[in-house]
Structure 1
Amino acid sequence: MRGFRKTTIGSAILLLLLIASFLYPLYGPADFDKNGLIVNEAGKVIGRAPFPPSAEHIFGTDRNGQDLLLLLLYAAKFTLITAIGVAFLRVIIGGLLGVFISLWAPWLKKYVIDIFTVFRFVPATFLGIVLMMPVMAHIERPLSTVVTYQILMLILLGIPSVLVFTTDLIEELKTKSFITTSLLMGAGRYHILKRHFFPYFRSYGILFTVQQLLTTLQVTMHLGIFGLYLGGQTVGGIVGYDDPPPKPASVSNEWAGLIGQSLYDFIQYPWTISFTILGFFVIIQIVNMIKKELEENIAGISYMKQKKTLVQTSVRKTGNQAPEQFVFVKEKKSLGS
């Protein structure tokens, strides 16, 4: 596990955050310590949310009067589970399509690659905005319908890159001598897939899932800034005391939505968005750290495999030991020499 120390630590932090979020109903209030107004003894309102950080509210409160720390803990599961689920499904669906096209329908590859190449030049955020607009225009839509549509759209945004990566990987692997030999000996596609391709898919699949997790987090944050919240919109603020009138708020309170709904409060009430952005930044840094370590380990494993293959080839051709297997002994000179 020494080679995956950062991955282990980062995964443990994310797991602890998920556990704390799922267990929130056991230790946190359902209303997130909501306190929208401060009233004096005469019954006059002398203050309204959002309130700045204090001993009572460490991260302060949002415009709805809800404690931001409790809100972030509660909503972490929606952000992480959505991103992890979308990344996993992207890799599974895109990977299976790539394998099918490369091994069973190679004639389709040219057309599919040409079509999906367009996705490389169009920002995923722009496509997400266009695809999400149909369900965001109607607040009265059922929550399950909105969430299902949004998740399907997020999955669709990542499938092209996974499919292209898979087909490129298979084409590269086909040039390897051991696969060429298997094909010449009459091995079928299922045998090649199981015995030769699958070990590579297992390693690269984990890496690409982490990469897609990072991409999903970035896209959802961008969509949140544009007011496209996971689950849709609701009316936020304190009715009767907001000037201007209440702005749209996130139904699910997931982190990207919290950033978007507090975007216009940044100048007057910077804490309402700063801590959420900081939380997002920490998660993205952890995922990026995991990705880099996986890339380094895969590159190192590939290098060692190539080196081992070269040494074995040299031994077979020359019949001698590899250079690193020789032991050199220095001869002692005699006294008379």
Structure 2
Amino acid sequence: MTHTMTAKAAAAGHRYGTVRRLLRLARRDRLATCGAVVLALIVLAAVAAPLLAPYPGDGTDATHPAEALRPPGSDHWFGTDGVGRDLLSRVLYGARTSLTITVTVLALSCVVGVLLGVTAGYAGGAVRDVIMRITDVFLAFPALLLSVALAVVLPPGVQGAILAITVSWWPWYARMSAVTATSIRSRGFIDAARCLGVSRTRIALRHVLPNSLTPVLVQLSLDAAGVIITVSALSYLGLGPREPTAEWGLMVQQGQSLFTTDWWVVVFPGLAIVITAFCFNMLGEGLRSALDPRREITR
């Protein structure tokens, strides 16, 4: 009973210490905090798009030719596009599409890359050589170029964009996880687990994998900006989501010929891409600085 209470008290103390540390970091890095707050607002706006959009139908397949290319005003805060759809509604629904693709790509890339990387780093030998050589083949191509090449072959749409970007993104997590796992497998607690007869699979899943995740989490926040831009680039080239799906890059592509006369058609979705990518970068830089062990030593 006493041992259980002590364990609960220790767990509570650890959680309290983590909260205090996060609050201290939030006060210290105001730029990362602002990025996190803006990102939270963007995510909330995307989730609540059907409620927040002034014209929800314009986020899908509705058209109003008589309202085409209306400038920003009281009826349409962001103006309307070439077929009369409200741009504010399209931007909100576009956030859903862009963020959904980004989260899916990062989740799939992380799962595939980390599992392969941890396997390579912990197993070593021929297993590591085979996995790393396959990884090197993918890393030999720029991620955007490989994504475009795959998207040309795959059917256009959300699923095709997700698959094309995932295939070009997972090798980075595999290499990072392999390096980390190789370092962890030589530590004392891993040797102790082996001496106690713990199986290799259990050691990899219970000890090596969790200790390999910290750099991956930081990289995820940094890579989100790159994925957002890649999704927008594919859509701009006509290789991503298609009409009537609302997506920021597609909206920029549709309004590029109107920039000199009807600027709002391009500017508002373009600003959405820039602001979201910038906030992801700021959050990632803040996390990298906060989780740097050298900073804790010198503080």
Q: How large is the Cα RMSD of the aligned pairs?
A: 3.0
Structure 2 CA distance for partners of 1:98 and 1:198, relative to 1, 3 Å: closer
Amino acid in the other structure paired with 2:229: Q
Kindly tell me the number of residue pairs found equivalent between the two proteins. 270
Unaligned residue ranges in structure 1 (runs of 5+):
39-48, 138-145, 233-249, 308-337
1:259 aligns with 2:249: no
Tell me how far 1:293 sits from its aligned partner: 0.8
* Alignment-derived partner of residue 234 in structure 2: 223
* Alignment-derived partner of residue 48 in structure 2: 23
Structure 2 CA distance for partners of 1:174 and 1:222, relative to 1, 3 Å: same
Amino acid in the other structure paired with 1:29: Y
Identity %: 23
Residues 61-114 of structure 1, C-alpha deviations (whole Å, 9 max, x = no match): 211211211211122111112211211221112101112233346413223323
Tell me how far 1:283 sits from its aligned partner: 0.6
* Alignment-derived partner of residue 37 in structure 1: 66
Q: Do 2:106 and 2:220's aligned partners in 1 also have CA atoms closer than 8 Å?
A: yes
Q: Do 1:94 and 1:162's aligned partners in 2 also have CA atoms closer than 8 Å?
A: yes
- Once residues 123 and 190 of structure 2 are traced to their aligned partners in structure 1, the CA distance between those partners, rounded to angstroms, is 16
Structure 2 CA distance for partners of 1:304 and 1:55, relative to 1, 3 Å: closer
Q: Which has the larger radius of gyration?
A: 1
1:284 aligns with 2:277: yes
User: Aligned ranges for residues 287-326 of structure 1 at < 5 Å?
Assistant: 287-299=280-292, 301=293, 304=296
Aligned pair partner of 1:162 in 173, 192, 195: 173
- Once residues 112 and 199 of structure 1 are traced to their aligned partners in structure 2, the CA distance between those partners, rounded to angstroms, is 20
TM-score (norm 2): 0.77
- Once residues 24 and 136 of structure 2 are traced to their aligned partners in structure 1, the CA distance between those partners, rounded to angstroms, is 35
Tell me how far 1:303 sits from its aligned partner: 5.2
* Alignment-derived partner of residue 129 in structure 1: 148
Unaligned residue ranges in structure 2 (runs of 5+):
1-21
- Once residues 21 and 304 of structure 1 are traced to their aligned partners in structure 2, the CA distance between those partners, rounded to angstroms, is 36
TM-score (norm 1): 0.69
Greater relative contact order, per chain length (Cα 8 Å cut-off, separation 6+): 2
- Once residues 23 and 302 of structure 1 are traced to their aligned partners in structure 2, the CA distance between those partners, rounded to angstroms, is 41
Tell me how far 1:227 sits from its aligned partner: 1.8
Amino acid in the other structure paired with 2:217: I
Give the 3-state SS of the residue equivalent to 1:31 in structure 2.
helix
Structure 2 CA distance for partners of 1:302 and 1:256, relative to 1, 3 Å: same
Residues 107-133 of structure 1, C-alpha deviations (whole Å, 9 max, x = no match): 132233233224334222221222112
* Alignment-derived partner of residue 321 in structure 1: none
1:153 aligns with 2:179: no
Give the 3-state SS of the residue equivalent to 2:56 in structure 1.
coil
Tell me how far 1:253 sits from its aligned partner: 0.9
- Once residues 104 and 30 of structure 1 are traced to their aligned partners in structure 2, the CA distance between those partners, rounded to angstroms, is 52
Give the 3-state SS of the residue equivalent to 2:115 in structure 1.
helix
- Once residues 24 and 277 of structure 1 are traced to their aligned partners in structure 2, the CA distance between those partners, rounded to angstroms, is 18
* Alignment-derived partner of residue 59 in structure 1: 78
User: Aligned ranges for residues 99-248 of structure 1 at < 5 Å?
Assistant: 99-104=118-123, 106-136=125-155, 146-176=157-187, 178-179=189-190, 188-190=199-201, 192-193=203-204, 196-230=207-241, 232=242
Residues 253-310 of structure 1, C-alpha deviations (whole Å, 9 max, x = no match): 11122122223332332221111111111111111011001110111x35547x8xxx
